[in-house]
Each structure stands twice: as structure tokens, then as C-alpha cells.
């Protein structure tokens, strides 16, 4: 995030402070601007356009097919982890929704592994966490709805994220492969038991064929 660069405050600290003021009911942009002001920067310099953020996420995800697969795998692990650095599930839901909408990135057969996976992954984390802050309405318990300022074209995205987050809060998980809703304790690697047993024999294809192409699973062997 640009504010991190210009204030020299690490991203994690910025995120913590922004989250703290949002828990008090301030909007995301308001919180960022307050922080900018406190850091001696011009708050008017910080405009965040959700549509631009979506565009940038898409741009990264269509760059390189194997890079996108690696990003997906890393984020999948981060969202499952239980430590403080956990990737927030609502941001992950944003990632999945955008991923499902885009065309496959070009496959570069036999090419070297993409060089900037770490950088691209970090950027995706920043962009998705920012986006979810902007388009969803937040309260003390987390997401409580769609932000009043959410652009109409992102309304469905915000609603889906809200719905999946609410399900998760009540112990339910939406399988990243088939979309079935299962108890979170039954999931394995973000999959429902059925999808998990289908991929046990091959390399995980979770994000390869993506949810819209369900028949692609289990045909490899």
C-alpha cells in the first residue's frame, strides 16, 4: 500500500491501526486518511478506487498461468493457518471470486518458474484486503453487510463475500472446488470431503480448472 511506502510504517502496523479505527465505526478510507494526517501526509492524496483495485488484481492473475497457480496455493495455505499472520477469509473470498471470473492466464509450457511470485502474492494480499475493506460494511464482529459506497458493479461481489463470511462465522465453509457448503471441520485443504477424495490420487487441481468447470476434476487418471 502506498501509505506504507510514504510513511515508512510497516504494512502490518498500518493495517492494525486502520482496523482499530474501523472497529470504532470509521470507514476504511476515513481511517487511512486519519493515519496519513497523523503521519504528516496530505490525506487528499489517498484515493482508493475499488474498480481500479479489481482491475489490478485481474491484471496480476492473467499475467502467467503458473504464477497464478502458485499464488492460489500460497493463499490457500495462509487462509488455513492459525497464526497471527493469517490471510483473512473475506479477502480470500474476494480472490476466489475474481479468479473464477477471469479467463485462464497464458500457459508457458516448459518455461522457467515465474520470478516474481512472492512479490505478486504480497500485492494480491494487499489489494484483496484493501478491497474487502472498501466494498463491505464493517462492525465489531467483522463484515456486517455491503458498504453503502460500494460501486453497483461490485455489489454482487460484496454480497458473496458477506454471505460466505457469515457462513464461516457459523462454522460452514464453501468448498473452493464445487461450491458445496459443508461443516468447516469436515474440510480438507479448503475442499469438501468429496472433492478432496477426488484429488487424492493426482496433483491438486483445486484452482486449475476452477469452480465453473466442475467436470474437469477426476478425469486426469
Judged by the rule CB under 5 A, the positions of this chain that interact with Zn ion are 175, 177-178, 180, 192, 195
Residue with cell 461450491: 179
Q: Smallest gap, in angstroms, from Cβ of residue 28 to Zn ion? A: 32
Alpha carbon distance 22, 133 (integer Å): 9
- What does the alpha-carbon distance between residue 68 and residue 195 come to, in Å, rounded to a whole number? 21
Task: Report the C-alpha gap between 193 and 197 in whole angstroms.
Answer: 6
In the bound complex, what is the minimum distance in angstroms from residue 56's beta carbon to Zn ion?
29
Taking the complex as a whole, the smallest distance from the CB of residue 73 to Zn ion amounts, in Å, to: 17
Question: Considering the complex, what minimum distance in angstroms separates the CB of residue 218 from Zn ion?
Answer: 11
Which residue lies nearer to Zn ion by CB, 55 or 188? 188
- The residue among 133 and 177 lying less far from Zn ion, judged by its C-beta, is 177
- Strand, helix or coil for residue 144: strand
Residue number, 133 or 196, with CB nearest to Zn ion: 196
CA distance 67 to 113: 8
| Run of H or E including 142 | strand 142-146
Q: Which is nearer to Zn ion, 1 or 175 (CB)?
A: 175
Q: Which of 160, 155, 149, 49 is nearest to 99 (CA)?
A: 160
Nearer to Zn ion, 28 or 173 (CB): 173
Q: How far is the CB of 128 from Zn ion (least distance, A)?
A: 22
CB 201 to Zn ion: min, Å = 16
Concatenating the DSSP letter of every residue in 154-194 gives GHHHHHHHHHHHHHHHTTEEE-TTT--EEEGGG-BTTB-HH
Query: Residue 134 or residue 192: which is nearer to Zn ion going by CB?
Result: 192
Could you count the other beta carbons within 10 Å of the beta carbon of residue 138?
Answer: 21
CB atoms within 10 A of CB 205: 18
42: helix, strand or coil? coil
Amino acid at each position: 500500500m502506498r501509505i506504507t511506502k510514504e510513511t515508512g510504517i510497516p504494512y502490518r502496523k498500518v493495517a492494525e491501526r486502520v482496523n482499530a479505527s474501523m472497529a470504532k465505526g470509521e470507514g476504511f478510507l476515513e481511517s487511512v486518511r486519519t493515519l496519513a494526517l497523523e503521519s504528516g501526509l496530505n490525506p487528499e492524496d489517498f484515493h482508493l478506487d475499488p474498480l481500479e483495485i479489481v482491475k489490478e488484481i485481474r491484471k496480476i492473475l492473467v499475467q502467467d498461468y503458473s504464477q497464478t497457480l502458485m499464488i492460489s496455493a500460497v493463499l490457500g495455505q495462509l487462509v488455513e493457518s492459525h497464526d497471527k499472520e493469517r490471510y483473512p477469509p473475506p479477502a480470500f473470498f474476494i480472490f476466489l471470486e475474481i479468479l473464477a471470473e477471469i479467463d485462464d492466464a497464458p500457459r508457458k509450457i516448459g518455461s522457467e518458474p515465474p520470478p516474481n511470485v512472492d512479490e505478486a502474492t504480497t500485492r494480491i494480499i494487499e489489494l484483496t484486503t484493501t478491497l474487502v475493506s472498501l466494498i463491505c460494511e464493517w462492525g465489531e464482529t467483522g463484515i456486517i453487510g455491503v458498504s453503502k459506497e460500494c460501486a453497483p458493479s461490485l455489489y454482487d461481489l460484496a454480497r458473496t463475500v458477506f454471505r460466505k463470511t457469515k457462513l464461516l462465522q457459523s462454522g460452514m465453509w464453501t468448498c473452493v472446488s464445487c461450491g458445496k457448503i459443508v461443516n468447516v471441520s469436515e474440510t480438507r485443504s479448503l475442499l469438501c470431503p468429496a472433492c478432496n477424495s477426488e484429488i487424492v490420487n493426482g496433483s491438486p487441481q483445486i484452482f486449475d480448472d476452477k469452480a465453473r468447470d466442475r467436470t474437469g476434476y477426476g478425469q486426469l487418471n
